[in-house]
Structure 1
Amino acid sequence: MHHGSCLCGAVRFTARGALGKVTACHCSLCRKHSGHFDASCEVKKSDLRIEGEEALRWYAATPKARRGFCATCGASLFFDPPHLDWVGVSMGAFDGPTGTRLALHIFCADKGDYYDITDGLPQNAQ
């Protein structure tokens, strides 16, 4: 079990089982939503339990995905493509160690000009 929450604790979640690979997304939407690039892992929808849903807000950023954040503190928490069976959970929202490591960078062609990616991990343009 992995537990997490937003900054103020109004939205809490539990993810059962192993977490999916950790991906850093550098697209302009993730950068605007998170303030930098977004690092998240995939969790099966059936393995994710969310508490405090009254404080959770969803923003339909595109027709293919929505983003979940806390209405109280503004913390970025979830990336949900409704047509798929998983939710991306922001790594910074987990409490304590996750036992995971960053595995991949995506949308690197859209990354900000103020940083370099130098960790040696695979980088996909899209």
Structure 2
Amino acid sequence: MHKGSCLCGAVTFEIEGGLQAPDACHCSKCRKQSGHFFASTDVPRRQITIQGDKHITWYQSSEKVRRGFCTICGSSLFWDPPHRDWIAVAMGAFDSPTETKLKMHIFVADKGDYYDITDNLPQNEQ
């Protein structure tokens, strides 16, 4: 069981089972939403339980994806493609060690010019 929350604790979640290795998205939308790149893990919807969902605001950032954040503290929590059977959960929202390691970087063609990616992980242009 993995647990997490927003900064103020109004939104909490529990995930049954292990976590997939996360990726880091460097697209301009993720950078603007998170303040840097957005690291997340994809979780099957049947494995996640969310409490305090009345405090989640969903922003429709594209035709196919919405992003969830806490209305009280503003924490970025979810990247949700409603047409899929999974939801991405922000790695920074987990309360305890996740026992995962970043597996790759995506949308690196769009990354900010103020940092370098130097960890030798795979880098996908899109």
Q: Smaller-chain TM-score range? A: over 0.9
What is residue 13 of structure 1 aligned with on the other side? 13
Can you give the 5+ residue segments of structure 1 that lack an aligned partner in the other structure? none
Segment of structure 1 superposing worse, 13-22 or 67-76: 13-22
Deviating runs (4+, > 6 A) in structure 1? none
Secondary structure class of the residue paired with 1:8? coil
Q: Which one has a larger percent strand, Structure 1 or Structure 2? A: 1
Q: Deviations over 1:32-90 (max 9, x none)?
A: 01000000001101101000011111000001100000000000000000111111000
Q: How many residues align?
A: 126
What is residue 59 of structure 1 aligned with on the other side? 59
TM-score (norm 2): 0.99
TM-score (norm 1): 0.99
Distance 1:84 1:19 in 2: 17
Report 1:32-51 matches (<5 A): 32-51=32-51
Give percent identity, aligned residues only.
Answer: 62
Can you give the 5+ residue segments of structure 2 that lack an aligned partner in the other structure? none
Return the offset for 1:12. 0.2
